Amino acid sequence: MKNFVHLFTQLDQTTKTLKKVAALVDYFNDTSEEDKLWTIAILSHRKPKRTVRTALLREWSAAAANVPLWLFEESYHIVGDLAETMALMHPNLESKHDKSLSEWIDFIIELKDLEEQVSPSSSDALQTKKERVLWAWNQLDETERFVFNKLMTGGWRVGVSQKLMTRALAKHSGIEENTLSHRLMGNWRAETTSYHQLIVASDPADKISQPYPFYLAYAIEVDPQELGNTDTWMAERKWDGIRGQLIVRENQLFVWSRGEELVTDKFPEFEMLTKALPNGTVIDGEIIAYENGQPLGFNVLQSRIGRKNVSKAILKKAPVLMIAYDLLEINGIDIREKPMHYRRSELEKLVKESASEKLLISELVEFRNWEDLVKERANSRQHHAEGLMLKHKNGTYKVGRKKGDWWKWKVDPLTIDAVLIYAMRGHGRMANLYTDYTFAVWKGDELVPFTKAYSGLTDKEINQVDAFVKRNTVDRFGPVRSVKAELVFEIAFEGIARSSRHKSGVALRFPRMFRWRKDKPANEANTLDDLEKLLNLYG
């Protein structure tokens, strides 16, 4: 495992993409096919299933370090990572193992069927999970222990996206990146396949699944008046869903997300489009949750993102469709260089002919002058939209984020001034800093918590808040500190909905700290009534 740990250390030590790719290529060039396969599996979140309960690991780790369990837990709260806490706490011995990555993984998989604790009758060493795990910890040095623990426990973010890993693998193998990314999709497991089968063996589906790079819009920086003649522009709603590319080629359907991930199996409802659309069609649009003639809001869609299996219940609870807004390929011909108005009229025809309830056209917003659009933008929330999209009628479909022909014009966020009342330490990069905050509004003399927010502050501000929290702690509940009600923040959010899951009765969409209101004392923060008003207006 030494070379894998070396790779991990290199990846962990740099934030530079080029260095990460170089480290991965070096590693791939110099490692066995078994280890390569497991590395790909780990970096694409296909670790082996957990074989030891973490409650046991904590207990064993604390005992081996000669500390009580409460102290282990306190340390874990501060370190912010279980695998790391266990790695740091264990007494350091000389590293002496020479197992490869795949051998260690086999070691972990084999733990599955063993007894958990040392039983008084078993005299042979290494017969139980506990004996084996302790043996492993004693063989490994600190970083190796960390890697081993990560393999054994929950999620592991190495700081390498699947895209980056694919790029490195492409360099190593000489196979094209998009081809590889397709080969890496789906439900394969390292336990049941081989490197050769997965990566090297050719797949005829490769070419036909290939997506086009997405054209991404910038937020508009100027007054739209300055865009000139209204005749040359068209406007659409900006839908709040997942950007997707829908491909039908050779009687097969492929759905790609903006992150160039193949998500076909996450959206089985689109399967019917294979027949409804002609071969050689590529549509760009927004996948949104939608029912009874209107969008359902992002929180509904969110309930199915990230799920491995899309159950019948989910399909019913969160039905989706695609709102199509661009056409990139027709009859197998790439038309991205044709003007927007042409692509749009072809798209309209296609959507109409498909006569599918899963494919809608993104309706144009009519306007005669820019004032009309200002009004339309203001009523975005009534349409369950995030704002407007402005597109130049003669523009081509570009690659990546480009200025000029597409602009997004989002509605201003809703805001409310709230008091910071609880703080918790962050995880990962923000471990050991109080970065996770709970905010409250006034109800009479009482502060009622209504949202958490994690983002929006600069590192410098986070340090200031962290120092405040440490000096103004009123009470502690495990990892949470309640603090003196003093700091006021303007919380911005995109939407508000009634929620039975939240104590306050409201759920916010994408809440973040918009501004630190150093000018406002706590008693001038907003009230629960103010929040109710927003809910009645926009909920």
Partner 1 sequence: MSLLQFTEKGIYCERANVYIDPWKPVNYAIITHAHADHSRWGNKFYLCHHLSKPIIQHRLGGDIHIESMEYLEKKSINGVEFSFFPAGHIIGSAQVRVAYKGEVWVASGDYKLEDDGFSTPFEPIKCNTFITECTFGLPVFKWQDQKEVFEDINNWWRKNKEEDKVTILTGYSLGKAQRLIQGVDPSIGKIFTHGAIEKTNEIIRNMGVGLNETTYVTPEINKKDFKGALVIAPPSALGTSWQKKFQPFEVGIASGWMKMRGPRRRRSVDRGFVLSDHADWDGLNTAIKATECEKVIVTHGYTNIFSKWLNDQGIETQIEATEFEGEQLEATEKTDAE
Rounded distance, CA 356 to CA 247, Å? 15
Rounded-to-integer distance, Cα 435 and Cα 420, Å: 11
Contact 439, 249 (CB under 8 A): no
Out of 12, 103, 206, 261, the residue judged to bind partner 1 by CB under 8 A: 12
Considering the rule CB under 8 A, would residue 164 count as an interface residue with partner 1?
Answer: no
Q: What angle is formed at CA 297 by the lines to CA 513 and CA 345, rounded to 5 degrees? A: 115
Of the residues 41, 52, 60, 75, which one makes contact with partner 1 according to CB under 8 A: 75
The C-alpha atoms of residue 22 and residue 494 are separated, in whole angstroms, by 40
- Contact between 352 and 315 under an 8 Å Cβ cutoff? The reply is no
Smallest separation (angstroms) from partner 1 to the CB of 480 = 14
317 binds partner 1 (CB under 8 A): no
Q: Which stretch binds partner 1 (CB under 8 A): 11-19, 220-228, 299-307, 377-385?
A: 11-19
List the one residue from 56, 65, 164, 310 that touches partner 1 (CB under 8 A). Answer: 65
Tokens of 394: 């003669």
Nearest to 379 by CA among 498, 229, 243, 235: 235
Q: Which two tokens stand for residue 503?
A: 């104590």
- What does the alpha-carbon distance between residue 402 and residue 409 come to, in Å, rounded to a whole number? 15
Which residues 90-109 are close enough to bind partner 1 by CB under 8 A?
92
**DSSP 8-state assignment for residue 65:** H
- Alpha-carbon dihedral angle through residues 114, 116, 120, 126, given to the nearest 10 degrees: 50
Among 203, 363, 459, 524, contact with partner 1 (rule: CB under 8 A) = 459
The residue from 69, 71, 399, 537 that contacts partner 1 (CB under 8 A) is 71
Which residues are 245's β-sheet partners? 256, 284
Please identify, using beta-carbon distances, which residue of 12 and 372 lies nearer to partner 1.
12
Total binding residues toward partner 1, as defined by CB under 8 A:
34
Say how far apart CA 343 and CA 357 lie, in whole Å.
21
Backbone torsions φ then ψ of 281, nearest 5 degrees: -120, 130
Q: Does 433 bind partner 1 (CB under 8 A)?
A: yes
Binding mask 234-273 for partner 1 (x = CB under 8 A): ----------------------------------------
Closer of 82 and 491 to partner 1 (Cβ): 82
Can you read off the two tokens belonging to residue 435?
């970065």
Residue choice 56, 88, 361, 374 for contact with partner 1 (CB under 8 A): 88
* Dihedrals phi, psi of 291, to nearest 5 degrees: -155, 145
Of the pair 468, 510, the CB lying nearest partner 1 is at 468
What's the CA gap between 158 and 217, in Å, rounded? 30
**Binding track, positions 393-422, relative to partner 1; x by CB under 8 A:** ------------------------------
Write the binding mask 142 to 161 for partner 1: x where contact by CB under 8 A, - elsewhere. Answer: ----x------------x--
Pick from 427, 452, 502, 520 the residue near partner 1 by CB under 8 A. 427
Binding site for partner 1 (CB under 8 A): 12-15, 65, 67-68, 70-72, 74-75, 78-81, 84-85, 88-89, 92, 146, 159, 426-433, 459, 463, 476
